[in-house]
Amino acid sequence: MTIPVAIAGVFIWPGTPAKPNKLFLSDAELDLAVKRLKNVKVDTEEKTKLSRLQLLKKIATDRRVYALTLWDIFFWNSGSNSYGGYLLWLKGLKRFSTPKVNQLGTTAPALGIFYVLFVNFSSDLLWGPSGAIAFAHAWNFTAMVILATWKVPEAAKWFAFNSTYTQVAMSSVLYGWANDILRHDATERSVILTFMNLFSQSTTAWTGVLVFPTSEGPRFLKGWTFCGVNSFLLVLFTYVVIGPLARKQERNLDAETSSAENTMESEDSVHERELGKGSNVTVAPQLPA
């Protein structure tokens, strides 16, 4: 799939304002896109006056990179889908053949498509990104509590296992919000988003070994508890750290914009006064020799 998608991307993806794909966008469309981005204070030039070392130093001393990375770590470690708990439980029921177990194992990701659509649309239409994240991970937390308890009716386990994809359903909300928080500088944004993904995903390399050992299946008490705690911390961190951080940055950007506009108005006023003074000067006529 990567090869046809890569080829299609050359002709389909619109690119960035600084490096647009002219095969896809007309000049008028590009101008409109740039105007809209500037209205919401997005960096459209993708230029930096800093050297690589200065850029890395600036990012390393910016608390946002640490807040966003920790936020992403909670997200990645709240997922339990890749450790086989659902399939091991279905097999342990000893009521289904191997093909049937594999078929039933697809119900969770199939429902995940619905979860993705609902959570992402609700983020824009109902309660915003913080509400969408809280909804998705409150649901995931409930599923993890049911599975950690384990001694529950079988119907509750069916519900819990088929709810686990609510954890990943809000990934577009999380990364979309991070992208918005970092929109003022395209270079910083690309570096920080890459670091977030790289570091947070690498932490999951130990999750399966430490809390989801196959020998403990199908009941992974440590695993379900670990994922539930991360879901809880993700929601808490969203409201206590990320939300206030985003609002503070918006205030700072608004203040910078107002300051720049006031400076431009002052310069225009000075220029107009100078022109006005110049219009009152009488030039003496030159007499012939």
Q: What is the pLDDT of residues 10-60, one digit of tens each?
A: 888 877 777 887 777 788 888 888 888 888 878 777 676 777 788 788 888
Average pLDDT in the chain = 85
Q: Quick one: DSSP state of residue 25?
A: -
pTM over 0.95: no
CB atoms within 10 A of CB 260: 10
The closest alpha carbon to 89, from 166, 150, 8, belongs to 150
- Dihedrals φ, ψ of 166, to 5°? -65, -25
Domain of residue 9, residue span: 1-40
Region 156-161: mean pLDDT is: 95
Predicted pLDDT of residue 282: 47
Q: For residue 260, is it within any domain?
A: no
CB atoms within 10 A of CB 236: 13
Residues 72 and 151 occupy one common structural domain = yes
- ∠ CA(24), CA(27), CA(32), 5° rounding? 95
- Kindly report the CATH number assigned to the domain that includes residue 68: 1.20.1250.20
Residues 138 and 7 occupy one common structural domain = no
- Dihedrals φ, ψ of 77, to 5°? -90, 5
Residues 234 and 131 occupy one common structural domain = yes
Predicted pLDDT of residue 41: 79
Predicted pLDDT of residue 269: 61
Residues 15 and 122 occupy one common structural domain = no
Region 60-83: mean pLDDT is: 91
In the structure encoding, which two tokens stand for residue 143, read together?
């599923």
Q: Quick one: DSSP state of residue 239?
A: I
Residues 95 and 134 occupy one common structural domain = yes
Q: For residue 259, is it within any domain?
A: no
Predicted pLDDT of residue 272: 61
State the amino acid at position 2 in one-letter form: T
Residues 25 and 165 occupy one common structural domain = no
pLDDT at 93 over 70: yes
Q: Give the Cα separation of 257 and 254 in Å (integer).
A: 5
Q: For residue 282, is it within any domain?
A: no
pLDDT at 118 over 90: yes
Predicted pLDDT of residue 26: 82
Residues 221 and 107 occupy one common structural domain = yes
Q: For residue 1, is it within any domain?
A: yes
Q: For residue 281, is it within any domain?
A: no
Residues 99 and 203 occupy one common structural domain = yes
Secondary structure tally for the chain: helices H, strands E: 15, 0
Q: For residue 150, is it within any domain?
A: yes
Contact call for residues 163 and 140 (beta carbons, < 8 A): yes
Residues 22 and 55 occupy one common structural domain = no
pLDDT digits (tens, 9 = 90+) for 159-206: 999 999 999 999 999 999 999 888 888 888 888 999 999 999 999 988
Q: For residue 146, is it within any domain?
A: yes
Q: Calculate what percentage of the chain has a pLDDT beyond 90.
A: 47
Residues 24 and 71 occupy one common structural domain = no
Q: What is the tally of structural domains in the chain? A: 2
Q: Give the Cα separation of 148 and 264 in Å (integer).
A: 61
In the structure encoding, which two tokens stand for residue 82, read together?
């890749």
Residues 197 and 98 occupy one common structural domain = yes
Residues 185 and 164 occupy one common structural domain = yes
The residue with greater pLDDT, 74 or 55, is 74
The closest alpha carbon to 234, from 165, 153, 174, belongs to 174
Q: Give the Cα separation of 4 and 123 in Å (integer).
A: 31
Predicted pLDDT of residue 277: 59
Is the peptide bond between 218 and the residue preceding it cis, with omega within 30 degrees of 0? Answer: yes
Contact call for residues 234 and 73 (beta carbons, < 8 A): no
3-state helix, strand, coil in the chain (%, to 5): 75, 0, 25
